Amino acid sequence: MSRVEQSSLQKNVASKMLQWKSVDAAMSYYDKDSKENVTLPLPFEFVVLLKDYVSFNGFHEATNKGFWSNEVKNPNDMVHIRCGNDIVKSFKKSDWKTVKELPELKGCKYTQIAYVSATLPEDDEPQIYRIMLNGASLTGGITVDKKTGKEHADQETDGWIRFTNKLCKTDANMLFKVSVVINGSKSKKNGAVNYTLPVFEAKELDPDDKETNDLYEVQYKQVLDWFTYYNAEQRKFDANPQAAATSTTDSEAGEIPNDENDI
């Protein structure tokens, strides 16, 4: 940001929010112009730039509106959840378990936000995007045998949490040393509800591709610069949460249509 732009509202460095859509068994993003979900072809490959932030997103059936919140990192960070454009709940990130069952938050989900570098069909080179991971795509929708109380087999890498935990078991930074590829999906069932989740796989990055690896470093720094600005603006907002929303809180997530199969 230049000297003459320092008081200007900044736009999120990630141009699109991507999400796994269970009914389509694919990654997609919501196109605000066409008001439709655009499905991305598999395989879908991306490199993780930053994974430290979470938000709270979902769909409130009673009002037919989307939930969305600011992105937070630390336990004491203030979360402001909106339904549509109205703030319905503010709380510390660490207090989510105590508020998540409130009626006004029914349908709202804890969401991991990953800032990634990926090449969509219309891109000439990798661009910065956000991936929103919640429900089964995050947790794996782990199923348990009702008779034994034990988990069914072959679930050790189901969902983002288990995939990354296993990947980083011996090297905490391994997630940043590989690209992640979604080659397909896995079907599961919860009661009468059938759903799908992405199958994540790790792929070794080419250490000799200096140009692309240097691009990832530049994009990583761009994300860090964005959050330097974002967090400063968020502290101002925390002091007066009823003030008009700025570009630091992005309504894009709240406009994603409901998909009842996204558990």
Lowest mean pLDDT among 8-17, 46-55, 248-257: 248-257
Q: Tell me the pLDDT band of 193, cut-offs 50, 70 and 90.
A: confident
Bigger pLDDT: 25 or 249? 25
Q: What is the per-residue pLDDT for 259?
A: 39
CB 226 within 8 A of CB 12: yes
What value does the mean pLDDT of the chain take? 88
| 141-172 pLDDT, tens digit each | 988 877 788 888 889 999 999 999 999 999 99
Q: What is the per-residue pLDDT for 206?
A: 92
Task: Indicate whether 149 belongs to any domain.
Answer: yes
Pairing of strands 127-133, 17-21: parallel
The three-class DSSP label of residue 216 is helix
Pairing of strands 36-39, 193-204: unpaired
Task: Indicate whether 90 belongs to any domain.
Answer: no
- The answer to whether the bond into 43 is cis (omega within 30° of 0) is yes
The three-class DSSP label of residue 92 is strand
Contacts by 242-248 with C-beta closer than 8 Å and gap 24+?
242/87, 245/82, 245/85, 246/9, 247/9, 247/10, 247/11, 247/12, 248/9, 248/70
Structural domain boundaries enclosing 138: 3-53+109-239
The three-class DSSP label of residue 261 is coil
- Asked if the model's pLDDT at residue 244 lies above 60, the reply is no
CA distance 144 to 31: 37
CA 257 to chain centre: 15
| 201-226 pLDDT, tens digit each | 999 999 899 999 999 999 999 999 99
In the chain the beta strands, taken as DSSP E runs, fall at: 17-21, 26-31, 36-39, 44-60, 65-69, 78-83, 86-92, 108-118, 127-133, 178-190, 193-204
Task: Indicate whether 147 belongs to any domain.
Answer: yes
Q: What is the per-residue pLDDT for 3?
A: 53
The three-class DSSP label of residue 176 is helix
- Asked if the model's pLDDT at residue 243 lies above 70, the reply is no
At 166, which helix (H) or strand (E)? helix 159-167
- Asked if the model's pLDDT at residue 249 lies above 70, the reply is no
Task: Indicate whether 96 belongs to any domain.
Answer: no
Q: What is the per-residue pLDDT for 242?
A: 65
Task: Indicate whether 188 belongs to any domain.
Answer: yes
Burial class of residue 97 (count of CB atoms within 10 Å of its CB; 0-12, 13-18, 19+)? exposed
Report the helix count and the strand count for the chain, using DSSP H and E: 4, 11
CB 180 within 8 A of CB 45: yes
How many domains in the chain? 1
- Asked if the model's pLDDT at residue 173 lies above 50, the reply is yes
Q: What is the per-residue pLDDT for 211?
A: 95
